[in-house]
Chains A and B, each alone.
Chain A
Amino acid sequence: MKWYIDSDRPIYKQLVEQIELRIISGVYTPGDKLESVREMAMDAGVNPNTMQKALAELERMELVFAQRTSGRFITEDLKVIEEAKKNLAVQEIGAFLEKMKKLGMGRNEILALMEKIEEGEKEDDHIKH
């Protein structure tokens, strides 16, 4: 998987977000062992100290836990992952609604449009199969 680093935000925060997303979407599964900080830093092309900082933040968020001798693991607590997923969804929807507001779209308009698009997708599927 590729890492994406934008230019205008702290790098460690972007690493936190991307690792979080990998955990939520199941790229990393609960109980998985993470690679070493150095390997992860190399893979992302970032400074090891920055990766270390990101992992410390993920530990604080309880998405990742460290075992003194054997390394870092993805949490096995599914509730924590579910909670993170919900938080992220709320954030994304917030950002989406903000944009729609700028376009002058009201709630009903948005919902109608979403349904229409969803139906369109279903029809497309129908034709394909």
Chain B
Amino acid sequence: MTILSTKNLTKTYGKKTALSQINIEIPRGRIIGLLGPNGSGKSTFIKLAAGLLVPTDGEIIIAGEAPGVDTKAKVSYLSERTYLNDWMRVSEIIAFFEDFYEDFNRIKAENMLKDLNINPDDRLKTMSKGTKEKVQLILVMSRQAQLYLLDEPIGGVDPAARDYILNTIITNYKEDAAVIISTHLIADIEQILDDIIFINQGELVMSSSVDEIREAHNKSVDGLFREVFKC
């Protein structure tokens, strides 16, 4: 069962093409790495799926529909930049999420905060960059969504927290949901991925399973990436 599919998905910003004729199908129950160098179109893809951008051409379908109000209830999106108000306390943001999303699980969020020693009474502005990232990821993963879109979720956190976050993604694994993780820190997340999608300069370069790549190239995905995108 497909959760996300695209047909000739294209996005241009003025004269610049960010994504060109992308055709992919993402089944439920998979964890997918969206990989590519800086400026390859990863964030554009995620934003199209999140319904924040509209395709210039082609289409993107999520759970049978074009991104909109209905799909937003099924898609949990972690943006690259924070959109939460700095002056808010974590507990207030949790109340916010509970209001906004029917599928938000408060107990899950509170447990994760506890595991990572984050005080719900703290205000975001008093937190380090890494801690803020953790809070956002906790919020996003505490929804019972069908599609999780994580744009660079592990960029700013320390290795121990990274392990916890990856574990959280594995624990959260559900057969009817898919997780798309965009990142360039491939080596760190490779073990938890089913499939990868390589994009470069807006074009689909490769889409394959991690073990297929390892089998065919005798290399990790990280190793192959370094070879393909050698500067």
> A residues bordering B, Cβ < 8 Å?
5, 7-13, 38, 41-42, 45-50, 53
Which of B29, B166, B223 is close to A45, meaning CB atoms less than 8 Å apart? B166
| Cβ–Cβ < 8 Å partners of A49 in chain B | 29-31, 194
> B residues bordering A, Cβ < 8 Å?
29-31, 163, 166-167, 170-171, 173, 187, 190-194, 210-211, 214-215, 218-220, 222-223
Majority secondary structure, B binding face: helix
| Cβ–Cβ < 8 Å partners of B170 in chain A | 38, 41-42, 45-48
User: If A11-B191, A11-B210, A11-B214 touch, does A38 touch B163 (CB 8 Å cutoff)?
Assistant: no
Chain A proximity of B190: nearest CB distance (Å): 8
Which of B30, B187, B215 is close to A7, meaning CB atoms less than 8 Å apart? B187
- Which residue of chain B lies nearest to A9 when distances are taken between CB atoms in the complex? B214
Chain A proximity of B111: nearest CB distance (Å): 15
Q: Is the CB of A45 within 8 A of B163?
A: yes
| Cβ–Cβ < 8 Å partners of A11 in chain B | 191, 210-211, 214
Q: Is the CB of A47 within 8 A of B167?
A: no
Closest 6 pairs between A and B when the two form their complex, measured CB to CB: A7-B220, A10-B211, A10-B214, A46-B191, A47-B192, A48-B173
Q: Is the CB of B191 within 8 A of A8?
A: no
Which of A12, A38, A41, A45 is close to B211, meaning CB atoms less than 8 Å apart? A12
